[in-house]
Chains A and B, each alone.
Chain A
Amino acid sequence: MEKVLMKGNEAIGAAAIKAGCRYFFGYPITPQNEVPEYMAKELPKHGGVFLQAESEVAAINMVYGAAGAGARVMTSSSSPGLALKQEGLTYIAACELPCLVVNVVRGGPGLGGIQPAQSDYYQATRGGGNGDYKLIVLAPASLQELTDMVQEAFDLADYYRNPVMVLADGMIGQMMEPVAFGEIPQWTLPEKNWATTGTDGDRAPNVINSLFLAPEELEALNIRLQAKYQTIKANETRCEIYQLEDAEIVFTAYGTTARIVKNAIKILKAEGIKAGLIRPMTLWPFPEAAYQALPKTVKCILSVEMSCGQMVDDVRLAVESKVPVAFYGRSGGMIPTVDDIVAEAKQLLGR
């Protein structure tokens, strides 16, 4: 498979088109602008539609309409833009509409900055909008993984009738790495016989709706959604386990931070300190089991994030107090350095 050098944001667009996505609704915001720009240029060549919406709110509701109408559709944005999209996302999740939402995360809170961050972990994994719902959240650490995940995201979304989010930090969006558009696993997908395509006079009307005024009906929806989330949890939890054997300290990190941690592990190893890494590739469902199967040699876990400590909450829940869990993070667009991580690990181990 020939490799091409691509910018992350462009790879997102290319992978989506390869996966059959033909509709993109979005609004400009740094650092994800190359996604809509790429789609504006490329989608019409594939018979698709790119539309620059008047706001993130409108864009996500266009996605709702198009997904409800049966199309493969996506939007992308960055952190404050995602906050605006939450209104539509909870409707999309409630109506079980498949779509892809990409968040190229920048630092917050507020308008924040435009440099890379991972401070949208809560926003992504807690639902973000109102009510009990979940997005499937994929966290790529390289552009090849990004490309594969974006392609598979559409199948995951269609298979489970659930919105999927690719959570990438600004670095993933802006950097260039070689990517190959290989064959990804082909899913057997259910027919979209629920979509609003017009009845054609030969079936009962299809309705996309999340209003249930009778509490029994709304609870029934929630029970059904929760059952689906359990299935997703059982089938789609993914993580990378790296050099865990005999580890004294286990790092946990996702996305580009995990790459920095791998460099730190190399340095620690050279100094005789055994360290490993648990890298969640799905943030929801969270790979809890990985944290419950730690080798006996592990003295502590260190969660490294480009945030003030968000994923560490899930790590603590998963570890169930069996091992001390510590946190090291930088925020606001600052990136943890290998030296910082090494020093933090040594301090924790008393070396």
Chain B
Amino acid sequence: MLNEKIICAGFGGQGVMSMGMLITYAGMLEGKQVSWLPSYGVEMRGGTANCNVIVAEDAIGAPTVSNDATTAMVMNLPSLKKFENDLLKGGKLFINSSLIDVKSSREDIDVYYIPANEIAVSIGSGKVANLVMLGAYVAATNVVSIDSVKKALRKVFGASKEKMMPLNEAALQRGCDLVG
């Protein structure tokens, strides 16, 4: 039974909060149980930001993801070091290889190296690196569908960002293609 526990982590400004929010929204649109819990406070101002997302069939107990993550998406090196060991055996780790030049030390998980920033820059803006990662995640896990994520994009970013949609969708697709 689906009980996906995700950690999204990176520098403040890398879009890790919205990455998590998009999965959450997409899950809700598909009628799944969802929760999103941000780290908050001083660590948001400059250091590593992260959020916990749960997508499940059953009602969600604790909204926290501690040492029981099924997925971790890390956008920078401190995040890899902090969260790599929180993954359960058989979990999935997505590493932003544009900014992280080390390999995972875990051998009991699936590791995906995604050059997210390079791809994002190549299609127009480094700002969509988070969506490249998200695309890879969706293709690798199928926890939520790419269509739901596209719908969620409009909910999360609002109608005023409509002109960004082609770029956003392209970033998602490139991420998907990398894994799929």
Contact = CB atoms under 8 A, between A and B. Distances in A.
Interface of A: 3, 5, 30-31, 114-115, 170-171, 174-178, 256, 259-263, 266, 335, 337-339
A175 B21 contact: no
24 contacts: A3-B28, A5-B21, A5-B25, A30-B41, A31-B40, A31-B41, A114-B40, A174-B37, A174-B38, A175-B36, A175-B37, A177-B34, A177-B35, A177-B60, A256-B63, A259-B63, A260-B61, A261-B61, A262-B59, A263-B61, A335-B62, A337-B66, A337-B67, A338-B68
Contacts of A114: 40-42
Contacts of B41: 30-31, 114-115
Contacts of A171: 37, 63-64
A30 B40 CA distance: 9
Residue in B42, B60, B62, B64 with the greatest tally of chain A CB atoms within 10 Å: B62
Contacts of B81: none
Interface of B: 21, 24-25, 28, 34-38, 40-42, 59-64, 66-68, 155
Nearest to B32: A178
Nearest to B64: A335
A339 B34 CA distance: 22
Nearest to A31: B40
A214 B100 CA distance: 75
Contact of A256 (B34, B62, B155): B62
Given A5-B21, A5-B24, A174-B40, 12 more contacts: A175-B36, A175-B37, A177-B36, A256-B62, A259-B61, A259-B63, A260-B61, A260-B62, A263-B61, A335-B62, A337-B67, A338-B61
A338 B62 CA distance: 8
Nearest to A176: B36
B5 to A, nearest CB: 11
A268 to B, nearest CB: 13
Q: Looking at B35, B36, B41, B63, which has the most chain A CB atoms within 10 Å of its CB?
A: B63
